[in-house]
Structures are given as structure tokens and as C-alpha cells.
Amino acid sequence: MPEVSKEAVVERLKQVKGPDGRGDIVTGGLVSEIFIADGKVFFSITVPAARAQELEPLRTAAEEAVRALPGVTGAVVALTAEKAAGAGGSQPRPQPQPQPQARPAPARPQGGQAARQPPQGKRGVPGVEAIIAVASGKGGVGKSTTAVNIALGLSALGLKVGILDADIYGPSMPRLLGVSGRPESADGRVLKPMRAHGVIAMSIGFLVEEETPMIWRGPMVISALNQMLREVDWGALDVLVVDMPPGTGDAQLTMAQQVPLAGAVIVSTPQDLALIDARKGLNMFNRVDVPILGIVENMSYFLAPDTGKRYDIFGHGGAQREAARLGVPFLGEVPLTMDVREASDAGTPVVAAAPDSAQAKVYREIAARIRDRLAELKPASRQPSIVFE
């Protein structure tokens, strides 16, 4: 297979029209530095933050254009509101501007302060000590990969852990965990979860074929979530990790309002647009009185597999700065590396596949901070927080 060059990528991107069809994205200085490794191309496109959703087709067009090049085996393209020097010429990096807030974020318990008891009406899961949500304001930030490796990290710390794939429309747990087959049921009603890498798991992906489209309306999605949560024999668990769907829709709001979540982990990438969406997810949990365990910066930087050189393709440190601004814990930064992606695609998450690797160590450190944060938020009285009905 021929090797692809940066020059070839730039020439192909010159065929992609800029916003509103004016010029092209390269000449307009919208393309960041381009990095290529093992046939995979990484870059970002600068667009106005307010037009991010509208200009998603621009990102798709650029990705498709690059993927069509001989020698390209994959492309990772992101929209960003942050200017950076790149293929279109040297661009000044703007200084971050203070963001006006309509209202201050509600204060969260910090340090050794006790968390409030779950509001009445939230029904827990028998045998499950704590339920935590791993969420993101948008897709494509590596939330599911992060959720799986956090679950395995918690398991490596000696906890009994389960993971619930709450993404009905795009379940990823079967592939990420390398699990196939159907859950069994002893009584025809309660399902036995699947097991992989020392954790138990449930996903709609275990119940339907991978290519079956889930064309369901909101009430059907909520019903499926409740069944997977409450009609599964989870047994005795220290932590149930819920891989939430991206965004802040019906499924996310229902989980936050009806389940006594011990806390939420927000996953974001460093770029401005991802952080805008991460704030939405964080604010949703604040409004329904779910403690924020912290923010994870995924794809924090790229490590070249051949030289080990570091590239801040999507910027760096944005999530950490956002956590400081909002007064919530920063749980850690996860680099973008080929082995994490390859291990996930192969169904052997890096914490299980390469437990001694630097990447696995990062996930275990994040898991340890989550464990400690849960201990901080646990009421000192240790009164039962789960209501059995």
C-alpha cells in the first residue's frame, strides 16, 4: 500500500469548500497541523463555535475526501474553535476570553464534606453499592472507551464492578469488551449479565444483531434502559459504571432523575467545541442534584508511535482549565495513542491487554481518584442510600 504524504492530504483538502462555499478550507487557514501515522490522518478544522452543528457536514466532507486517498486507512477529523498553526499557514493563537455566565454553578460538596442523600423517589438496584455515570456532551470524544477502561481500572483496585451500556442507538460494549452471544435467563424474566475481563456487563447490543437499527421513540428507549438496569441479575457490586449516550436527551435525563447516581464523570477533549458540550452535560447533572466526580480530558495529546514525539493536535489542557474554572475535580488526561484504539477495536481494552503500559496506568490513576471521590461524597453516617421495593 502506498504511503500517504502531508502534501497529498493538503492538495485533497483544497478541494473541500470553506464555510458558505467560499474558497477552500486550506487557503482559508482553517486546517490545523496534519499528522500521519500508519496510514491514519489526524487534523482539525477551525470553525465559529456558534456554527459547529451547522458545519458538521464540512467535517464529514473533509474526512471523506482524505479517506479516499490511496494509502489512507483512517482519518480523525475534529471541528475546533481554536486557531492553530497548520496547513493553511501560520495562525496566531487567540487568548481565551472570559465566558459570561448567566448563573453560577451550584456548589458541590468538596473535600470531606458529606454528600446529600438521594432525593426520595429514586429507586436503586438491589446489591449495587454505587452507580456512576460516564457522560459527554457530544459523541466522538472516546467516552465509551474511557468508561470501559475506568471500569477495568476500578476492578484492578479490587472492587466488584459492572458496566451498563445505556446507549440504545449506538451500543459499543460488545465490541469494546470482545463479547458475543446472548445473555441467559433462569426464569425467563431476569437476565444474567455477560462477563469479560473481570467485570460483568449488559448492553442492548447483546440482544440484537450489530447491524440492526434501533428505530425507537423515547418511551421505548426508557423502557429498555429500565429493563437492563432492573431486570438483570447484577449480584453484589461495589460500583456499576453506566456508559451514558452522548448529549443531554431523554435517556440521560431519565437516568439522572430516576436512578440514585452516586456521581457523574464528564469526558471531553481539549478543544473548545467539545468543552462547550461538556458544560451542557455537567450543568444537566447539577440541575438534577447529581455530584460531579470530575472531568477527564481524553485525546489530550498524540504520541507518535515511531518517535514518541508529542503532538497537541486538538489543543491541550482545555478540560483541566475548565474543571478549575467550574470548581470540579480534574481526574486526569488520557493521550491519544494507537494501542488504545487498536486494543479497543480488538475487544481487549488497554487496561486488560497491557496492564503495565503507560496508558493503563493513566486509567488506573483516574479510577483511583474516582474511588476516592466516591468515598469523600459518601455520607459519614453510612445510612443506606438504596431503597428496596
As a whole number of Å, the CA-based R_g of the chain is 21
Query: pTM, whole model, 2 decimals?
Result: 0.67
Q: Is residue 45 part of a domain?
A: yes
CA 293 to chain centre: 14
Asked if 47 contacts 84 with a C-beta cutoff of 8 angstroms, the reply is: no
Inform me whether the pLDDT recorded for 200 exceeds 90.
yes
Q: Which residue has the cell 428505530?
A: 215
Taking CA 244 as the corner, what is the angle to CA 335 and CA 190, rounded to the nearest 5 degrees?
130
Q: How far is CA 54 from CA 16, 47, 49, 216, 249, in A?
A: 16, 10, 10, 25, 19
Report CA 259 to chain centroid distance, whole Å. Answer: 20
Give yes or no for a contact between 288 and 252, defined as CB atoms under 8 angstroms apart: no
Overall average pLDDT of the 119-136 stretch = 83
CA-CA distance, 350 to 341, in Å (whole number)?
A: 9
Q: Which has more confidence, 75 or 194?
A: 194
Non-local (6+) Cβ contacts of 197 within 8 A are 152, 155, 177, 348, 349, 351, 352
User: Would you say residue 3 has pLDDT above 80?
Assistant: yes
Domain count, the chain: 2
The number of C-alpha atoms within 13 Å of 134 and in the hemisphere containing its C-beta is: 32
**291 has pLDDT over 90:** yes
User: Higher confidence at residue 48 or residue 355?
Assistant: 355
pLDDT band, residue 296 (cuts 50/70/90): very high
Buried b (16+ CB within 10 A) or exposed e, 281-307: bbbbbbebbbbbbbbbbbbbbbbeeee
What pLDDT, on the 0 to 100 scale, is given for residue 164?
95
So what's the pLDDT on residue 97? 39
Largest Cα span, the chain: 66
User: Would you state the pLDDT for residue 388?
Assistant: 39
pLDDT for 382 equals 41
Residues 305-344: tens digit of each pLDDT: 777 777 777 767 777 888 888 888 999 988 877 777 777 7
In a domain, 364, yes or no: yes
| Residue 239 dihedral angles phi and psi, to the nearest 5° | -140, 135
Phi–psi pair at 130, nearest 5 degrees: -145, 140
* pLDDT the model gives residue 107: 40
Q: What is the pLDDT of residue 141?
A: 80
What is the chain's percent helix, strand, coil content, to nearest 5? 35, 20, 50
Cβ density class 187-206: b for 16+ within 10 Å, e for less: eeeebebbebbebbbbbbbb
What pLDDT band is residue 104 in, cutting at 50, 70 and 90? very low
Q: How confident is the model at residue 99 (pLDDT cuts 50, 70, 90)?
A: very low
Residues 249 and 319 in one domain: yes
CATH of residue 54: 3.30.300.130
Q: Do 57 and 140 sit in the same domain of this protein? A: no
Clarify whether residues 132 and 75 are in a common domain.
Answer: no
Most confidently predicted of 23-37, 112-126, 229-243: 229-243
For residues 214 and 305, state if they share a domain: yes
The residue-averaged pLDDT of 257-279 equals 78
**Angstrom distance (rounded) from CA 229 to CA 243:** 12
Tell me which DSSP letter residue 256 carries. Answer: H
Whether residue 170 sits in one domain with residue 75: no
More confident residue, 90 or 266: 266
Q: What is the dihedral of CA 165, 63, 88, 277, to 10 degrees?
A: -30
Same domain, 134 and 26: no
pLDDT band at 210 (very low <50, low <70, confident <90, very high): low
- Distance (Å, whole) CA 46 – CA 32: 8
Residue 242 shares a structural domain with residue 158: yes
Tell me, yes or no, whether 94 lies in a domain. Answer: no
User: Which range of residues forms the domain containing residue 171?
Assistant: 128-377
Is pLDDT at 118 greater than 50 in this prediction?
A: no
Q: What per-residue confidence (pLDDT) applies to 379? A: 64
CB-based burial label for 104 (10 Å; 0-12, 13-18, 19+): exposed
End position of a domain, from candidates 61, 80, 99: 80
- What's 138's domain CATH number? 3.40.50.300
pLDDT band for position 87 (50/70/90)? low
Give the confidence band of 273 by pLDDT, cuts at 50, 70, 90. low
Q: Report the range of poorest mean pLDDT among 44-53, 65-74, 86-95, 353-362.
A: 86-95
pLDDT in tens, 183-195: 887 776 788 999 9
| Contacts (Cβ under 8 Å, ≥6 apart) of 178 | 196, 346, 347, 348
Same domain, 66 and 175: no
Residue 188 has a pLDDT of: 67
Is the pLDDT at 98 greater than 80, yes or no?
A: no
- Residues 43 and 187 placed together within one structural domain of the fold: no
Terminal CA-CA length for the chain: 61
Say what the pLDDT of residue 284 is.
Answer: 83
Residue 285 falls inside a structural domain: yes
> How high does pLDDT run on average in the chain?
79
Please say which residue of 22, 45, 80 terminates a domain: 80
